[in-house]
């Protein structure tokens, strides 16, 4: 990464009159876990749909956080997720420490359908968790599993947003797609779900859910980039619906696990030509409002 890219990213938000960016979908997790995640991408396995996926920002943790600051990202997340029972509580413990030493990271926690999940979710909320991550594809679980019901209730009551990968991209899983998460929302209509990747590739189905439930939001992670448009193009007929939900679309990037420069996600949003007001909301204001960031 060159200083030139950082300068270009900063110019992007400065020209919009913003104080910076808020990125709700960035990954920080224990290093040995992150190395395994990178291994999945390198192996072109089922989690990538067999698509070549070079990691652009493979620096160590401190360098990655410093890079986001150089880009002018005011607040970011530590999207971490378990792939088996017994892992979520340990990840949440790590996340407490990471948030403590990284004040511009929104304290992130996670969950898994297992006995005791309601207890540790409540503990995480009481410890200051500001956002949760759920990954239906990697965890291979039904988000409507009865084991999770009380935990969803805790999060709905607390108003803590949940960034959830529930779409079927880049490769479908047994419980991905709109139907399982629709069952969750039917039981917990006030749950603040942020559907990752705009629900790729079932974009329109997840727009349906956002239009039905006022607390459902969508993040832009990887959507509209050249990489994703080759694999799962966003239907142009749905752009007016995306514009209409402009106050509930949030910037996400998947940093550092992206196969292109960070700037490309921003340019991909810009070239939709939905207007500067829409871009300001997506790139900063909507998330700043959701998380109650200072100065908003």
Res 294 pLDDT > 80: yes
121 by Cβ neighbours in 10 Å (0-12 / 13-18 / 19+) ranks as: buried
> What is residue 1's predicted lDDT score, i.e. its pLDDT?
54
Q: What number of residues does the chain have?
A: 296
Res 43 pLDDT > 90: no
188-232 pLDDT, tens digit each: 999 999 999 999 999 999 999 999 999 999 999 999 999 999 999
Q: Is 164 helix (H, G, I), strand (E, B) or coil?
A: strand
Res 44 pLDDT > 80: no
Res 3 pLDDT > 80: yes
Q: How far is CA 37 from CA 62, 80, 158, 262, in A?
A: 18, 10, 30, 19
> What is residue 40's predicted lDDT score, i.e. its pLDDT?
86
* CA neighbor of 15 nearest in space, from 218, 226, 267, 262: 267
31-40, 220-229, 260-269, range with the lowest pLDDT? 31-40
pLDDT average, residue stretch 137-158: 97
40-44, 46-50, 151-155, 260-264, range with the lowest pLDDT? 46-50
Residue 10 is classified by DSSP as: H
Task: Name the residue with tokens 């939001």.
Answer: 217
Token pair listed for 288: 């700043």
* CA neighbor of 220 nearest in space, from 141, 159, 163: 163
- H-type helices in the chain, by residue range? 3-15, 31-42, 61-71, 88-101, 117-126, 136-139, 146-158, 178-187, 203-212, 226-231, 239-244, 262-270, 276-280, 286-291
| Band of residue 266 on the pLDDT scale cut at 50, 70, 90 | very high
Distance CA 72, CA 94 (A): 25
Q: Which helix (H) or strand (E) holds 131?
A: strand 131-135
Distance CA 90, CA 129 (A): 14
For the chain, give the mean pLDDT. Answer: 96
Is the Cβ–Cβ distance between 252 and 196 less than 8 Å? Answer: yes
Q: What's this model's pTM, rounded to 2 decimal places?
A: 0.97
Phi, psi angle pair for 76, to nearest 5°: -145, 180
> What is residue 296's predicted lDDT score, i.e. its pLDDT?
63
b/e map 246-279, b = 16+ CB within 10 Å: bebbbbbbbbbbbbebbbbbbebbbebebeeebb
> What is residue 47's predicted lDDT score, i.e. its pLDDT?
64
Q: Which residues contact 133 (CB under 8 A, 6 or more apart)?
A: 77, 79, 80, 81, 108, 109, 110, 162, 163, 164
Distance CA 295, CA 117 (A): 35
pLDDT average, residue stretch 250-263: 97
Phi, psi angle pair for 31, to nearest 5°: -55, -40
56-83 pLDDT, tens digit each: 999 999 999 999 999 999 999 999 999 9
Residue 235 is classified by DSSP as: P
pLDDT average, residue stretch 161-181: 96
pLDDT average, residue stretch 107-111: 98
| Band of residue 2 on the pLDDT scale cut at 50, 70, 90 | confident
| Band of residue 46 on the pLDDT scale cut at 50, 70, 90 | low
* CA neighbor of 121 nearest in space, from 113, 104, 77, 141: 113
């Amino acid at each position: 990464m060159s200083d030139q890219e950082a300068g270009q990213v900063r110019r992007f938000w400065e020209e919009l009159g913003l104080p910076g960016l808020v990125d709700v979908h960035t990954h920080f997790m224990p290093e040995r876990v992150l190395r395994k995640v990178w291994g999945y991408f390198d192996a072109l396995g089922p989690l990538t749909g067999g698509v070549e996926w070079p990691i652009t920002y493979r620096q160590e943790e401190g360098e990655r956080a410093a890079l986001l600051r150089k880009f002018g990202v005011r607040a970011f997340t530590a999207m971490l997720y378990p792939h088996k029972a017994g892992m979520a509580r340990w990840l949440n413990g790590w996340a407490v420490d990471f948030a403590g030493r990284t004040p511009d990271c929104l304290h992130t926690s996670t969950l898994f359908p297992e006995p005791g999940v309601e207890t540790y979710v409540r503990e995480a909320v009481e410890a200051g968790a500001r956002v949760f991550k759920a990954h239906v594809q990697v965890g291979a679980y039904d988000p409507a599993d009865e084991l999770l019901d009380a935990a969803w209730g805790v999060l709905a009551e607390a108003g803590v947003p949940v960034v959830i990968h529930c779409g079927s991209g880049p490769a479908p899983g047994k419980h991905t797609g709109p139907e399982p998460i629709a069952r969750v929302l039917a039981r917990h209509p006030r749950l603040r779900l942020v559907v990752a990747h705009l629900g790729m590739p079932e974009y329109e189905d997840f727009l349906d859910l956002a239009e039905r439930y006022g607390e459902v939001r969508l993040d832009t992670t990887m959507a509209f980039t050249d990489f994703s448009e080759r694999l799962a193009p966003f239907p142009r007929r749905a752009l007016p619906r995306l514009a209409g939900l402009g106050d509930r679309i949030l910037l996400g990037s998947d940093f550092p696990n992206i196969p292109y420069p960070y700037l490309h996600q921003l340019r991909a949003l810009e070239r939709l030509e939905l207007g500067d007001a829409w871009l300001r909301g997506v790139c900063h204001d909507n998330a700043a409002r959701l998380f109650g960031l200072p100065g908003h």
